[in-house]
A and B are shown apart, each in its own frame.
Chain A
């Protein structure tokens, strides 16, 4: 399963893509496929604070409800409100149109501690 190398990962299946001082966060194809049809993504408000390794949202599918985590701390600058009407975007395009939040990071160095694509695949047994 393709896992883009231009981002950093958590073992809990979130991806993080840094552009300037803003990190875009979503979940991987592996996670989206495991969840099956996603029915709801609970997103934070713009301006909300996100802490590293703390839950900032929830994702629901026909199968289960799970917390969403971030590997970095910061302030939410944008949310993908398309997901309210069409949560299935996370299934169809998890690394693109299925992105969830953008976070202005307090310390971009935190990203270095996250998993590379190879490490993520290894950790999750794929």
Chain B
């Protein structure tokens, strides 16, 4: 897709979603759409490290919760506007990603995955034992009823998440078509060959972990205002990691569009199941879809589409 086409489609998509927010009066729509958009950010962030670079991160919940708890701390100290919380959450989670990169990027494969999982557990243990942010009993955040210009506060959160989804997709697409993106792909394909071709693999992996972590933290920053009650069980919920991994795998990890398709598909199905059947089904749906795609389309929906396109050509 050419640059101009991408930006036109992105603008149309954002405009449609924005227009919907002006027409729809039911607040539940915003609750549900916020979650889907949040998963677009999380899945896109995961894909920068997992899809482009080939390093599978199981510690998504750790980065996400780091952003959320940064907001709790700042809310208690000062109560800045949400864009500031997002920025700080992104910086903190990005730094965690950078440190994780330094500590773990000399290992790869399943060992790297285990290390990221361990990192999430370490952060969770720290938060559970930190009284200032509510510890294991959790913390209440009273959000304002109204937001300036927008009206309903949940609409405001939804619009913020919409902007973040657009930003994260734009970042992922820019990376994909840049020298950095090519470099990350060489790391995924063969690190030794990459180094022998002059690619500074360690530096690129650190950029990837930092950027991926920062976007996850940014996605988590508005969470306390969304849920209004945050405890470690909800902040570090297994579903964040499972969804952030499953969505790119189902959509396709080779390009920016994959996580978006996966997040829209899985997120919408989960929201539908939550309303019509039960939210307890959500993980079951992810599991069933993952098994289906691993068997039928191991390269995701985009991979399937690519195969069909090649056959026609």
* A and B are interacting partners: no
Q: Which residues of A contact B (CB under 8 A)?
A: none
